[in-house]
Amino acid sequence: MTRSIAITGGAGFVGLALAEALRLRGDSVTLLDLAPPDPQLFARTELAGTRYLPCDILDEAPLRHSLAESGADLVVHAAAITPNGETSQTQALTIAEVNVTGALRLLAAAQATGVRDVVLLSSVSVYGALGGGAADLREDAPATPDTLYGETKLAAEMLCARIAPTLGLRLATLRLGPLFGPWESLREARPDLSPHAQLRQLSAHGTPVRLAHEMRGDWIYSRDAAAMIAAVTSRMEAAAGGCFNIAGGAPFALTDWARAMGLPAPTLTPDTPDIAPRADPRRGPMSAAATAALTGINGGRSMTEAVADETAWLASWQETRT
């Protein structure tokens, strides 16, 4: 059964990847965002038929209007500010308002417009950099965030889980692992690209790239994450009230990915890295067991498979741009 789905923050990295997955199975998709997508990305054939409507997640009346106009019967809440170290200091109040208050405004808008099903996108950041020392990071592991982003995402999780049932909404919470892959672009709400994209850009300019460490982690390919999110949207009766990891396959190092992509080998210089570390190799990988039981999708593809798909996507991206 196809659905009509709205995605807040839909013009961003996760939103566009999810739109591709939803359009592939025939769903009607509307992107709700402050600014439209990158026009070259939005013009790709994978997104044919996708609509964009302007929307400020903090402006209640226009939010309700856009959600009603979308005709959605389910909304995926992907709108958030993903800060870096600098913006966590300079925009802390704005980040908290968007990430926490924005989620609550979305619940109110969903109830007001008759959208019963809500998927809340959260983050591996709620577990903290080390994940409490767990060898296999399950959804019932203690949440010990140690960044502003992780704290705001956990606050949104807790409040939405408490409030959604009182509004008659079915809520599923999905914690996304560290992402890389197609559909990524810089936006005001996401001032840094993934380490993979940064490494590729720096290498393209002939710049020797320095890393603090090899950045081994449970990276998840964006198309795999989108497929898992899409699968949850078709299983809301079972997913409602639950929390699920959107996790990758076997962990791998950024240095290994660079080699597989044919990029110059980065050097390890702990004191002067060009790319801020995004994964702590001491954290155990996220468990995909609960999501696999719900959706039948057991983690993401291997690094080798992701490299092959991303290489083909980048080649088609270059053709689109020229």
Q: Note whether 41 and 160 are same-domain residues.
A: yes
Question: Domain of 62?
Answer: 4-181+219-250+284-303
The total domain count for the chain is: 2
| 91/204 same-domain check | no
Whole-number Cα distances in Å, 194 to 8, 66, 220: 21, 30, 11
Q: Per the structure block, which two tokens stand in for 92?
A: 């802390």
The predicted model gives 110-126 an average pLDDT of 98
Cα–Cα distances in Å, from 255 out to 184, 214, 301? 20, 5, 18
Residue scoring higher pLDDT (133 or 305): 305
Residue with tokens 């009182």: 166
Residues 165 and 94 in one domain: yes
Question: Is residue 319 over pLDDT 70?
Answer: no
Q: How confident is the model at residue 279 (pLDDT cuts 50, 70, 90)?
A: confident
200 and 127 part of one domain: no
Instruction: Tell me the pTM.
Output: 0.96
